[in-house]
Structure 1
Amino acid sequence: MTVAADDTVSTLRWRGGYGRLWSAAVLSRFGDAVRNVAVPVVAAGLTTSPFVLSLVSAAGYLPWLLFGLLGGALADRVDRRRAMWTVDVIRGVLVAVFAVSLVVGESHIAVLMAFAFSLTTMQTLFDNAATAILPTLVPRGALSSANARLMTAQSLAGTFLGAPVAGVLIATDPAVPFAVDAATYLVAAALIASLPRPAVPAAPPGGTTLRTQIAEGLRRLWRDRLLRAICTANLLANMVVGGLTALLVLIVTQWAGASETTFGVVVAAYGAGAVLGGLVATRLGRWVGGVRVLVLALVVQVACLTGIGTVAHAVATAAGLAAFGFAGMLVNVHTVTLIQRRVPGEMLGRVSAASRTVAVGGAPLGALLAGTLAEATDVNVPAVAGAGLVAIAAVVVVRGAASDRLTPM
């Protein structure tokens, strides 16, 4: 199932903008990791209800359903460089305001949900613009390597720096992690603003409306049998990820028996696995093919979820999260690379948005379903149920690759 594409190996150069884009993404991920560890800890201090915690997670995913397609269409119409640094400045200010609200004692679960919703709303434009920019900065044959290095470095920054540092910062004051995150957004904005204009051209609107362009992106995704299958599989998988993320603090502390102080360490296992996956993703793709790697990664995740949901031990949970992160990185690298290779540059923002919106849209639904299921049973049950959904996702990719004319079996 090796995709018939131009896989000629090209040298990945750090000059020309890629190095600055890489630096901005890594710095921003460090800040995000600090915040992502702090958010569930703050939320758990405000409520002990699994369902309410799932609402916080769902609020962080919901904007993709509401604004994801719009963000992709805008990414194909505006100056992508300017859009990205502007969004980062706004996010930096927003996170700083939230940090102040914690300092003055105005924290509330509703405020936390609004905060998560607002950040993701802006992310819909940023992520689609970033996906569309990368192919303008590196040669086509270096896309897999560029994606792998970018995602691996982000995992390193989040796992070995962000997550451990977050634990120390939270112990100092709950507002400090958010202040650090705000600073990283502002520095990242400066780096992105320094990218050369010729490297990030905006696609001309061509006199068409946003609605027309969104429809074009959806049709392009639907007509590509392989991308359609991968998108469907990601929808199912992200339902599971959404549920796992929403309940992870309870799975680690209640089911696995770890203390709150070690929560960040256990979660760091996921990032460690993701780093390893990023280091081998390109090579595995060359050996066995990107689509086959996707299928094998989903099978690994089925086993991981089964173990997390059936073995009540912190070490077993950490090991399961590490393997889950390893497989997840393989899926991310090859999914993004396949989209970038199979879609024309002028439509890349819209098709990327369509795929991401459908896929990420499963996360809030999964978070709510997992919270409801955990309320009725136990916090580990959603992980076991999720293994079944990921198994179905693997079958969907196999069938999609078999029916795709550009993917010889």
Structure 2
Amino acid sequence: MTATTDAVAAKAVPDWRGGFGRLWTAAVVSRFGDSLRTAALPLLAASLTDDPLLIASVTACGFLPWLLFGLLGGAVADRVDQRRAMWAVDLVRGALMAAFAVAVAFGHATIALLLVLAFALTTLQTLFDNAATALLPALVPTEALAAANARLMTGQQFAGGLLAAPLVPALLLAGDAVPYVADAATYTLAALLIASLRTGAADRPPRPAGSTLRKEMAEGIAALRRDRPLKWLCAATTLCNIGMGALIATLVVHVTDGRQAGTAGNAAYAATITAYAVGGVAGGFLARRVAERTGRIRAVALAGTAQTVCLVLMGTVPVLGASIAAMAVFGFMGTVWNVNQTTLMQERAPEGMLGRIAAAFRTLAVAGAPLGALLGGAAAAGWGPHTPALVAAALFALAVASLAPLIN
């Protein structure tokens, strides 16, 4: 991938009318509800236990299904109508969230229930995310993929971080179940929007006689291994996800300095994740420009280097203001990484294999997150609440180093 190719892609923009506009709206609405839930769940977990390892286990269970079902989700996404798969999954997730909201409202929430919920939602997400990645190229031309990914991620960050995160403390004052009721409603609305999409039949090569899901999953892994840029990018992302698992699983403990989250802790946590979202939104506006100047791989390496510095700052300067500033830059660079990573995958995947390649990439990359979450919990319990940030910094530094073979 050259800087010249990046420049051509950067000038194209997707048409908001029709399919892309509805997909964008569905993604933004869904992320709004998801962010309410993901911000509220750690606080709920912290109110149920003061054990950092148990709190981190909730995050770990939210990643584990990718190891078990990620490849299967990609193979299914390449076989079925991706639009129908997405809206059906959202309806099921909405029903699960509504049931969970009832349990919280009547005081039946437990750590065990949080673990089951996290596992179930992510199991469904393995199909949804792979189908969404494969569906986007059917809605926008190839030269507009970078812009489409940037707009999707920017809108999601804006809705999830700037709109949803600051609302969490106020919604919790209205009732512990309110964030989960809102999440259930957004899943339903997103399902309706996706169901309204009108896309043509997927242009897929016919499957060979005797082809099975197991063989098709293996084909996705083999295709990823053959593609040198995607292979090394996957290795780097895996290392980063181990670090992210350690950081995110213990972020509420980091922000509250190891104490149970009360009203002040809730506000500090909301401010930190809001800063991350602000940075993410800004990154969405500039991700294509960074890639235009440097090329996609160099843009990813630059982003990872800056994120490493942010993590070192968080681990060595245990002050709330420093964490907020670091998370803002961390979010900016995270969007630069994600936009260019996703676009590169969509541009390089062979016809009819994007779902499986995306699944292989995500499964391998996400595989480290449960380990990272448990590692972060153990580090916080053994050496203090700010240690996981330093663990994450070391892993991000290794990730940047692993990209060296791709940088000429």
Alpha-carbon offset, residue 293 of structure 1: 0.5
Letter in 2 for 1:287: R
Letter in 1 for 2:327: L
| 2:225 is equivalent to residue 222 of structure 1 | yes
Letter in 1 for 2:222: R
| 2:250 is equivalent to residue 247 of structure 1 | yes
| 2:135 is equivalent to residue 133 of structure 1 | yes
Deviation readout 1:40-67 (Å, 9 max, x if unpaired)? 1110011111111111110000000110
Corresponding residue to 2:112 among 93, 110, 113: 110
What is the distance in 2 between the residues matched to 1:20 and 1:341? Answer: 22
Q: Residue 15 of structure 1: SS of its match in structure 2?
A: coil
Aligned equivalent of 1:237: 240
What is the distance in 1 between the residues matched to 2:302 and 2:34? Answer: 29
What is the distance in 1 between the residues matched to 2:133 and 2:139? Answer: 11
Q: Where does structure 1 lack aligned partners over 5 or more consecutive residues?
A: 403-408
What is the distance in 2 between the residues matched to 1:357 and 1:82? Answer: 22
Aligned equivalent of 1:16: 18
Aligned equivalent of 1:364: 370
Cα distance change of structure 1 residues 204 and 188 upon mapping to structure 2, 3 Å threshold: farther
Alpha-carbon offset, residue 379 of structure 1: 1.4
Aligned equivalent of 1:405: none
Deviation readout 1:113-171 (Å, 9 max, x if unpaired)? 00000000000000000000001111111110000000001000011111112221111
Does the CA contact (< 8 Å) of 2:150 and 2:285 recur in 1?
yes
Letter in 1 for 2:104: L
Letter in 2 for 1:285: A
What is the distance in 2 between the residues matched to 1:32 and 1:200? Answer: 29
Aligned equivalent of 1:343: 349
Alpha-carbon offset, residue 255 of structure 1: 6.3
Aligned equivalent of 1:392: 398
Does the CA contact (< 8 Å) of 2:52 and 2:381 recur in 1?
yes
| 2:302 is equivalent to residue 300 of structure 1 | no
Residue correspondences, number: 402
Corresponding residue to 2:267 among 261, 264, 271: 261
What is the distance in 2 between the residues matched to 1:92 and 1:200? Answer: 27
Cα distance change of structure 1 residues 46 and 140 upon mapping to structure 2, 3 Å threshold: same
Does the CA contact (< 8 Å) of 2:13 and 2:147 recur in 1?
no
Aligned equivalent of 1:86: 88
Does the CA contact (< 8 Å) of 1:2 and 1:291 recur in 2?
no
What is the distance in 1 between the residues matched to 2:187 and 2:55? Answer: 26
Letter in 2 for 1:339: M
Does the CA contact (< 8 Å) of 1:68 and 1:353 recur in 2?
yes
Alpha-carbon offset, residue 386 of structure 1: 1.7
Deviation readout 1:1-29 (Å, 9 max, x if unpaired)? 83675744434211230000000000000
Does the CA contact (< 8 Å) of 2:23 and 2:194 recur in 1?
yes
Does the CA contact (< 8 Å) of 1:79 and 1:201 recur in 2?
no
What is the distance in 2 between the residues matched to 1:275 and 1:10? Answer: 20
Corresponding residue to 2:383 among 377, 381, 387: 377
What is the distance in 2 between the residues matched to 1:203 and 1:311? Answer: 55
- Residue pairs, 1:273-312, within 5 angstroms: 273-312=279-318
What is the distance in 1 between the residues matched to 2:168 and 2:132? Answer: 26
Aligned equivalent of 2:43: 41
Aligned equivalent of 1:77: 79
What is the distance in 1 between the residues matched to 2:33 and 2:181? Answer: 9
Letter in 1 for 2:157: S
Alpha-carbon offset, residue 260 of structure 1: 2.5
Does the CA contact (< 8 Å) of 1:79 and 1:202 recur in 2?
no
Q: Residue 356 of structure 1: SS of its match in structure 2?
A: helix
Cα distance change of structure 1 residues 343 and 142 upon mapping to structure 2, 3 Å threshold: same
Cα distance change of structure 1 residues 199 and 276 upon mapping to structure 2, 3 Å threshold: farther
Aligned equivalent of 2:214: 211
Deviation readout 1:311-333 (Å, 9 max, x if unpaired)? 01111000111111111111100
Cα distance change of structure 1 residues 263 and 203 upon mapping to structure 2, 3 Å threshold: farther
Poorly superposed stretches of 4+, deviation over 6 Å: 255-258
Larger deviation, residues 7-16 vs 27-36: 7-16
Letter in 1 for 2:2: T
What is the distance in 2 between the residues matched to 1:380 and 1:10? Answer: 43
Deviation readout 1:91-123 (Å, 9 max, x if unpaired)? 000000000001121111000000000000000
Alpha-carbon offset, residue 397 of structure 1: 1.1
Aligned equivalent of 2:163: 161
TM-score, with length taken from structure 2:
0.95
Q: Where does structure 2 lack aligned partners over 5 or more consecutive residues?
A: none
Does the CA contact (< 8 Å) of 1:255 and 1:313 recur in 2?
no
Aligned equivalent of 1:406: none
Deviation readout 1:318-374 (Å, 9 max, x if unpaired)? 011111111111110000000000112300000000001111111101001111122
Cα distance change of structure 1 residues 91 and 219 upon mapping to structure 2, 3 Å threshold: same
Alpha-carbon offset, residue 283 of structure 1: 1.2
What is the distance in 2 between the residues matched to 1:88 and 1:3? Answer: 38
Cα distance change of structure 1 residues 397 and 209 upon mapping to structure 2, 3 Å threshold: same
What is the distance in 2 between the residues matched to 1:303 and 1:34? Answer: 28
What is the distance in 2 between the residues matched to 1:205 and 1:103? Answer: 49
Letter in 2 for 1:106: H
RMSD: 1.7
Q: Residue 254 of structure 1: SS of its match in structure 2?
A: coil
Letter in 2 for 1:310: T
Q: Residue 106 of structure 1: SS of its match in structure 2?
A: coil
Cα distance change of structure 1 residues 346 and 77 upon mapping to structure 2, 3 Å threshold: same
Letter in 2 for 1:52: L
Corresponding residue to 1:326 among 332, 336, 339: 332
TM-score, with length taken from structure 1:
0.95
What is the distance in 1 between the residues matched to 2:294 and 2:164? Answer: 33
